[in-house]
Structure 1
Amino acid sequence: MTDNRHRRATRLLGLLATGLCAAGLLTAPTAQAADPTPLRELAAAAGIHVGNGIEAAPLASIPAYEAIVGREYEAVTPGNEMKWGSVEPTRGQYNWGPADQIVAYAEANDQIVRGHTLVWHSQQPNWLTSGNFTPAQLRTILSEHIAVQAGRYEGRVYAWDVVNEPFNENGSYRGTIWYDNLGVDYIADSLRWARAADPGAKLYINDYNIEGINAKSNALYNLAVELLAAGVPLDGIGIQGHIIIGQVPSTFAANMQRFADLGLDVAITELDIRMQLPVTDAKLQTQAADYRSVFQSCIAVDGCIGVTVWGVTDGLSWIPDTFPGEGAALMHDAQYRPKPAWNSVYQLLGGTPPEEPGEPGNGTCAVRYSVADQWNNGFTGAITVANPGTTAIDGWELSWTFSSGQSVTNGWNGTWSQSGSTVRVTNAAWNRAIAPGGNVTLGFNASHSGTNPAPGTFTLNGTACTSQ
């Protein structure tokens, strides 16, 4: 990983040049038409890395997901693939496949990997939680697990979240299988075991709700002071960053700075900023300001090495299942389109976002529907979606309602789903953009029960299209 101080020196020179250009003392180069600069390159120039918490399954199966991860992010964190229950579901029997997949992908795409996580109270295998082990046995199990897992990826991860979420909200230690049986020393011991297994990796304690200065972050700060004084190998603090819109703490930067003043790295490791649904433009703008504030806080603290966003797309986020009624927490929406939060961060880091895609409807999308073939109880449908507007449509979902019980059995040139009488088709990776004057064609097979009228209205991204 590029040295953080060198990156920050580069950033300061860039900011100086920007100021001179604004003052008329330097002439900015003529803009050239080109693909937008990847976010990872902008972040590197600003002295930080930008990462994403990813999953192996969509990385391998969804082209739009993989394209964003590979292009835009310098660092990746396995969301679940390195947790104890995933890698050792049966004692002594390991499932390394998904974690290996992510590590190999990162290496092929010039990305760094954050190991997550070695010691946690959650997502543990049943054999461990139901084993009725003695404290001595648990200590052996824990040391062996850290040695095996950290040893397997020695030299292939830049950092480990060694201990995850050790504190309660009031600053007391969380009661876990580790704390209850081994006492607080399990934290120092785990860090020592991790250092022995992977000497080159940075070792972190990672927790949530420690963004600002509060009882929980104070407890972690005091623990860090004690560990460092005892010579325990602690290199950094991971601040998860699961935040509600409008609630970024005013003490975020000051909190990070006090850890940095101890000589520790600080990383924002699991950033998402959720809102109460439904989504509105006002909420999206607040979210954009919050994302910008978090990135600004990291840039302002010399010891903050990077920001990892916890997920690629709202459509695959953990938030709705954990916080019912809330969601839309990430920088890309469910159709993989950049949101105002993305543009806000992109601009903060010195980039110029591409022109906003055109909104469909009001004469800027048109649909031609026809039945290509029909038989006793089935038919083949053909649809052309055109963009007669002047700006590109980047990412789309077409929907309509069948009125006579028709049911789609399979479709092509998109991802198809049907709920009741409503059919939805989202773009494939290769046809997500509809240029001005351009179109995409879709086809499907469906069943019917004797009558087969054409749909009356089509909507693209929720807005009605004209019919051709």
Structure 2
Amino acid sequence: MTEARHRSPRRARRSLSLLLTSALAAAGLLVTASPAQAESTLRDLAAQNGGRHFGTALTYNPLNSDSQYRDIAAAQFSAVTHENEMKWEALEPQQGQYNWSQADSIINFAKANNQIVRGHTLVWHSQLPSWLNNGGYNGNQLRSIMENHIEVVAGRYRGDLYAWDVVNEAFNEDGTFRNSIWYQGMGRDYIAHAFRKAHEVDPNAKLYINDYNIEGINAKSNGLYNLVVDLLNEGVPIHGVGIQSHLIVGQVPSTFQQNMQRFADLGLDVAITELDIRMQMPADNNKLQQQARDYEAVVDACLAVNRCIGITVWGIDDERSWVPYTFPGEGAPLLYDGQYNRKPAWYAVYEALGGTDDPGEEPGNPGEEPGGPGEEPGEPGTPGGPCDVDYAVVNDWGNGMQGALTVTNTGSSPISNWTLQFTLANVNISNGWNGDWTQNGSQITVTAPAWNATLNPGQSTELGFVADKTGSVSTPTQFTLNGATCS
């Protein structure tokens, strides 16, 4: 366990100034010019710390449609992971038929911006195509299918990726093996088979096993540790452990550094591969400051372990994070807010990596809310109805998609027992959250949950869904809330 870090009075005063700057920007009250002198970036600072990388997960749609997202991705991060575009369901929705375009696009972006790429993931129990999940294959058939997938995918990207998450999330919380289709068919040997095949196909890539809730020393990380020792003794080509680090504010394990060090002592690299630190919403200053301290603690732990080669945050901004759609009532887990303002956590990471100059605001991001400085924060820029709906496609993997909606009461009276309706053709919604979702053909209806039945003036609610789809899906053109048309 490391000693707690104490800030000098000068550094504490500077941190308070940065926190105030971030808070003003988030409120839309700060306008600054782009700095005349180039600032240090997170990627540059990480590289100065023993050649480490500082990376992010990228998603195809905003990368190709949102210039601010793209600019931040290029400027601040030196490593890239596909959030969903390299998972099995996205790449091979029909057996033997591969969709490469979105995965290729992200790799081409990384090459153009001198970024390394982490392959995520070859073998996982989740996001498998239905033909595989429901195929009823025996162990020999599953091994053949798995090895063929590795050969095709790792073979296509051989030389383009520095590392692969060969096996993802193989353990239960008690340290036993997850009863996945791979474990059912081949027992624990599927892990060794996967690593050997990946090394055969891409011998220069670093091969990782990756999992969550293994940040501290616990039953799950002990199970993983024991497996890794066995694999090394068996001569299996495993080179690193990926520690996902989907954390909760105020709950960074005290044994984080110690846990990474014991894996490093086996001769393995370790990497923090999917870092985000979520909080119960709504966010407030106390939570944001605690989040900043937690991010600093994670960076400090990595820097203290020589073989911790880098950190990847799981996304760029809060609005496009997976967290609100997976953990109802929780959110704000990343370094940027939904308007690409730097949060206190960003400045904490900047300082923990050794940044000493005042970085100011993101170049090209003056800190204004959309609509311009003449409006009150949150006020719509143009007249509309008593409600406003923002709709976005968070992810699209060919035969499926993830959508997000922000519904805001822009009127002067509460909207009780709200019901949102819109039309979305060519989809079949399989899961929706933060409301009760029903579908009748292309008509989608979302009714208020009991815990959020009333939208007060100015209040918003975040909704999300996952759907199967056929063909192209057009953006809805009209939303109604309790029968009134929204702007």
Counterpart contact for 2:249–2:277, Cα < 8 Å: yes
Aligned to 2:118: 114
8 Å Cα contact 1:347/1:353 also seen in 2: no
Provide the rounded CA distance (Å) in 2 between the counterparts of 1:201 and 1:159: 5
- Range with bigger deviation, 345-354 or 50-59: 345-354
Question: Cα–Cα, structure 1 residues 366 and 403, in superposed 2: closer, same or farther, change >3 Å?
Answer: closer
Residue number in structure 2 paired with 1:354: 359
Whether the 8 Å CA contact 2:42–2:54 is kept in 1: the answer is yes
Q: Distance in 2 between matches of 1:335 and 1:297?
A: 29
Match of residue 293, structure 1, among 262, 281, 297: 297
Deviation of the 1:349 alpha carbon: 1.4
Q: 1:147 to 1:397 in 2, by over 3 A?
A: farther
- Counterparts of 1:259 and 1:269, CA distance in 2: 15
Contact 1:203 1:236 in 2 (8 A): yes
Give the letter for the 2:46 counterpart.
A
TM-score of the pair, normalised by structure 1: 0.72
Q: What percent identity do the matched residue pairs reach?
A: 55
Pick from 93, 97, 100: which aligns with 2:97?
93
Native 8 Å contact 1:204 1:235 kept in 2:
yes
Q: 2:379 aligns with which of 399, 412, 425?
A: 399
Query: CA shift at 1:400, angstroms?
Result: 3.9
Q: Shift in Å at residue 294 of structure 1?
A: 0.3
How far apart, CA to CA, are the structure 1 residues paired with 2:361 and 2:157?
A: 41
1:42 aligns with 2:30: no
Alpha-carbon offset, residue 422 of structure 1: 5.5
Aligned to 1:172: 176
Q: In structure 2, which of residues 265, 274, 279 is the aligned counterpart of residue 275 of structure 1?
A: 279
User: Bigger relative contact order, structure 1 or 2, given CA contacts below 8 A and separation 6+?
Assistant: 2
Deviation of 1:300 after TM superposition, in Å, equals 0.3
Residues 306-363 of structure 1, C-alpha deviation per residue, up to 9 Å, x if partnerless? 0000001000000011110000000000011110000011011121343479xxxxxx
**1:204 aligned counterpart, secondary structure:** strand
Superposed CA RMSD in Å reads: 3.0
Cross-structure match for 1:62: 66
Q: CA deviation at 1:133?
A: 1.2
Aligned amino acid, residue 248 of structure 2:
I
Kept in 1: contact 2:42–2:76 (CA 8 A) = yes
Letter aligned with residue 45 of structure 1? Q
1:247 aligns with 2:251: yes
Query: Which of 80, 83, 89 pairs up with 2:87?
Result: 83
Task: Give the direction of change, closer, same or farther, for the CA distance of 1:397–1:80 in structure 2 (3 Å limit).
Answer: farther
Aligned to 1:52: 56
Indicate the SS of the match to 1:332: coil
State the 1:385 CA deviation: 3.5
Partner of 2:221, secondary structure, is helix
SS of structure 1 residue aligned to 2:373: strand
From 210, 234, 251, the equivalent of 2:214 is 210
2-structure distance, mates of 1:384, 1:290: 33
Q: In the alignment, which residue of structure 2 is the partner of 1:137?
A: 141
Task: Kindly name which structure, 1 or 2, has the bigger radius of gyration based on alpha carbons.
Answer: 1
**Residue type of the alignment partner of 1:207:** D
Which residue pairs with 2:447 in the alignment? none
| Residue of structure 2 in register with 1:183 after alignment | 187
CA distance in 1, matches of 2:113, 2:63: 13
Unmatched tracts of structure 1, length 5 or more: 1-31, 358-363, 368-382, 388-395, 411-416, 424-456, 460-468
Q: Distance in 1 between matches of 2:236 and 2:244?
A: 22
Cα separation, partners in 2 of 1:126 and 1:35, compared to 1, 3 Å: same
Which of 261, 265, 271 in structure 2 is aligned with 1:261? 265
Structure 2 distance, partners of 1:285, 1:420, is 29
Runs (5+) with no aligned partner, structure 2: 1-34, 391-405, 413-456, 460-487
* Bigger mean CA offset, 32-41 vs 219-228: 32-41
Asked if structure 1 preserves the Cα contact closer than 8 Å seen for 2:57 and 2:316, the reply is: yes
* 1:190-209 matched pairs, under 5 angstroms: 190-209=194-213
Post-superposition offset of 1:135: 1.4
Q: Which residue of 2 aligns with 1:325?
A: 329
1:278 maps to a residue whose letter is P
Q: Which residue is 2:233 aligned to?
A: 229
Moved over 6 A (4+): 364-367, 401-404, 406-410
Q: Which amino acid aligns with 1:37?
A: S
- For the residue of structure 2 that corresponds to 1:399, the secondary structure is coil
Please give the alpha-carbon distance, in whole angstroms, between the structure 2 residues aligned to 1:292 and 1:225. 30
Give 1:42's aligned amino acid: L
1:385 alignment partner in structure 2? 373
CA distance, structure 1, for counterparts of residue 180 and residue 368 of structure 2: 56
Task: Give the Cα separation in 1 of the matches to 2:458 and 2:90.
Answer: 43
| TM-score (ref. length: structure 2) | 0.70
Contact 1:343/1:353 (CA < 8 Å) preserved in 2?
Answer: no
**Maintained 8 Å contact 2:410/2:458:** no
Q: Quick one: which of 345, 367, 370 aligns to 2:349? A: 345
Amino acid at match of 1:234: I
The answer to whether the 8 Å contact 2:386/2:411 transfers is no
